[in-house]
A and B are shown apart, each in its own frame.
Chain A
């Protein structure tokens, strides 16, 4: 089992719809969770961080964390063609090298006009 798993996609949604991206992790003690957006040919860019159970909203983006289920998700409301990218989930471990993230393989999102 991979430490961080994401639906590989691709995920396709129409413009204006809600895109839902999911991520599960194996280490129950993990404490920090991140979402990165990576456009084709570009490097990843941090878009959301979440540390506590529940929802965290930033503009059209909402990150959701459920530590009991070891599940983190990213919702993109009113999806735009400019949201078309690969989204990487990353998890920081509970101890030791606390700044070293483990990344999922990413979910590719296409928003169709």
Chain B
């Protein structure tokens, strides 16, 4: 069964900490995405990547960075966690091209205190 695996289901971090969220896919997908999902705001794209070492900003990149050193792994980094970054973080991957939908990971519920 093909999978997108996110390293943690729940995380609690303190304000100001550097936080790493990891995502690994085993489908050899070219595209990988990080979204956050908040009640009433829907899915908002943070960053995405079309290839190894390539990254592009999404709609809300402020306060975040990403790393894609290998095709299967896409990491989201919160440089200095703040309480307004408390959210559900969803990683997704897809094949290259316009006709493919996403496979999502199970999500990481991050709470910043």
Contact = CB atoms under 8 A, between A and B. Distances in A.
B50 A97 contact: yes
Interface residues of B, number: 26
Main DSSP-derived SS at the B contact region:
loop
Interface string A19-60: 000000000000110101000001111100101000000000
A103 B58 CA distance: 13
- Give the dominant DSSP class at A's interface: loop
A95 to B, nearest CB: 9
Nearest to A34: B101
Contact of B98 (A32, A43, A44, A104): A32
B90 A92 contact: no
A10 to B, nearest CB: 14
Interface of B: 30-31, 33, 40-43, 45, 48, 50, 56, 90, 94-107
